[in-house]
C-alpha cells in the first residue's frame, strides 16, 4: 500500500507544476485561481465524505489548527509557487520543492523531537546532489539573475509552508483525527483565505472559459489536491514526514519527462549523472536502516 501511495504522489505532483504554469499564464488573478482550485477540491471532498458518511466533526481547537494548515499548505505556499512560475521554469520549481525532505526532517525534530531515520541524511545528500546535477546546465545558463533569485526565494518559502502543513497533519493524526475530514476543512479555510486576499486586491472573480484554464483547474483540483494530498498525508502517517517528503526528490524526473516532450528539454551528461544519483538515493532511503553504513564499516 505504501508503494502505491508513494507512486501516486510522485506521478501526480510531478505533473502539477506544468498545470500551475498554465494557470499562471492566464488572465485570472493568482489568488483567484488558487481559491477556485481549493473551493472545487473542498466541495468534492465534502460531497464524497457526506455520501459515504465519513465526514467527522472536530473541536474548535482542531478547527483552528485546520485553519493554520489551510494557510500553510492550501494557501500561502501556492501563492508563492504561482508567483515563482513567472520567474523560473516549472522544472526548477519542482527541484526547489525537493527541499521539503530536509525541512520536514528538521521540523519533525523541532516540533515532535522525532529523530530522522539513519538513512535519511545519506539519501537526502544523494538526492539533492542529483537534483543539482540535473539542473546544473540551467543554473549555469541563468548566471543567478535577480529574477532567478526571486523565483528561488518564493519557491523555497512555499516549500517551507508546505513542510509546516505536514507538521500540522502529523499533529492531527497523532490526535486520532480523520485525515480526509481535516484535509477537507483545511482546504476550505485555504480557499476562503485566498478569496479574502483576492477581494482585498480588488481582483476580478471572472473565470477564464478556455480549455487550457479549465483543464488545468480541474486537474489541479481533483488529481493534484483531492487525490494527491489524501495519498501524501496518508503516507506521512504511515512512514513519517521525512520519508514521505523524500518522494519530492522524484518530482523533477516526471517534470523533466514532460519538459522533454513538450518543451524540448535537452539531456546532458550531468542530467544522466543526476538521474543515477536520485535513483541511488531512493534505494538508500528505503533499504533497511543502517544497511549501507554497516557495509561501509565492514569494507573499511
3-state SS record for 111-137: HHCCCCCCCHHHHHHHHHHHHHHHCHH
Domain boundaries, the chain: 2-299
Cα distance between residue 164 and residue 170, in whole Å? 10
Q: Any idea what the Cα angle at residue 237 is, between residues 70 and 64, rounded to 5°?
A: 30
Cα distance between residue 280 and residue 277, in whole Å? 5
For the stretch 244-274, pLDDT in tens is 777 777 777 787 777 777 666 677 888 788 8
For the stretch 144-202, pLDDT in tens is 678 878 888 899 999 999 999 999 999 999 999 999 999 999 999 999 999 999 999 99
Asked whether residue 293 carries a pLDDT value surpassing 70, the answer given is: no
What is the model's pLDDT at position 264? 67
Would you say 187 and 38 are in contact if contact means Cβ atoms under 8 Å apart? yes
Would you say 127 and 101 are in contact if contact means Cβ atoms under 8 Å apart? yes
Mean pLDDT, rounded, for 205-220: 93
Would you say 22 and 263 are in contact if contact means Cβ atoms under 8 Å apart? no
Cα distance between residue 128 and residue 122, in whole Å? 10
Asked whether residue 66 carries a pLDDT value surpassing 60, the answer given is: yes
What is the model's pLDDT at position 165? 94
| Least confident piece of the model among 119-128, 168-177, 279-288 | 279-288
* pTM of the predicted protein model: 0.83
The CA-based dihedral angle spanning residues 120, 77, 97, 232, taken in that order and rounded to the nearest 10 degrees: 60
Q: Which residue has the higher pLDDT, 205 or 294?
A: 205
Q: How confident is the model at residue 292 (pLDDT cuts 50, 70, 90)?
A: low
Cα distance between residue 274 and residue 253, in whole Å? 10
Mean pLDDT, rounded, for 60-72: 97
What is the model's pLDDT at position 51? 94
Asked whether residue 242 carries a pLDDT value surpassing 70, the answer given is: no
Chain-centroid distance of CA 49 in Å reads 24
What is the model's pLDDT at position 23? 84
The residue to which cell 548566471 is assigned: 143
Amino acid at each position: 500500500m505504501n508503494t502505491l501511495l508513494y507512486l501516486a504522489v510522485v506521478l501526480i505532483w510531478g505533473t502539477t507544476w506544468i498545470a500551475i504554469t498554465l494557470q499562471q499564464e492566464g488572465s485570472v488573478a493568482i489568488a483567484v485561481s488558487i481559491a477556485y482550485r481549493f473551493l472545487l477540491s473542498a466541495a468534492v471532498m465534502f460531497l464524497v465524505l457526506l455520501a459515504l458518511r465519513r465526514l467527522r466533526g472536530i473541536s474548535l481547537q482542531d478547527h483552528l489548527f485546520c485553519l493554520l494548515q489551510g494557510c500553510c499548505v492550501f494557501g500561502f505556499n501556492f501563492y508563492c509557487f504561482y508567483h515563482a512560475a513567472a520567474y523560473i521554469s516549472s522544472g526548477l520549481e519542482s527541484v526547489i520543492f525537493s527541499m521539503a525532505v530536509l525541512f520536514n526532517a528538521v521540523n519533525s525534530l523541532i516540533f515532535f523531537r522525532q529523530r530522522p531515520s539513519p538513512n535519511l541524511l545519506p539519501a537526502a545528500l544523494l538526492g539533492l546532489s542529483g537534483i543539482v546535477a540535473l539542473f546544473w546546465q540551467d543554473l549555469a545558463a541563468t548566471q543567478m539573475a535577480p529574477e532567478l533569485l526571486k523565483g528561488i526565494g518564493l519557491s523555497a518559502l512555499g516549500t517551507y509552508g508546505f513542510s509546516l502543513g505536514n507538521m500540522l497533519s502529523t499533529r492531527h493524526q497523532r490526535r486520532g483525527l480523520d485525515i480526509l475530514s481535516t484535509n477537507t476543512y483545511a482546504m476550505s479555510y485555504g480557499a476562503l483565505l485566498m478569496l479574502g486576499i483576492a477581494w482585498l486586491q480588488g481582483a476580478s472573480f471572472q473565470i477564464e472559459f478556455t480549455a487550457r484554464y479549465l483543464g488545468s483547474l480541474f486537474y489541479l483540483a481533483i488529481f493534484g489536491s483531492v487525490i494527491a494530498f489524501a495519498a501524501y498525508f496518508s503516507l506521512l502517517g504511515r512512514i513519517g514526514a521525512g520519508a514521505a517528503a523524500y518522494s519530492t526528490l522524484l518530482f523533477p524526473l516526471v517534470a523533466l519527462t514532460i519538459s522533454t516532450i513538450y518543451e524540448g528539454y535537452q539531456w546532458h551528461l550531468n542530467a544522466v549523472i543526476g538521474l543515477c544519483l536520485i535513483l541511488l538515493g531512493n534505494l538508500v532511503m528505503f533499504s533497511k536502516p543502517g544497511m549501507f553504513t554497516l557495509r561501509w564499516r565492514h569494507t573499511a
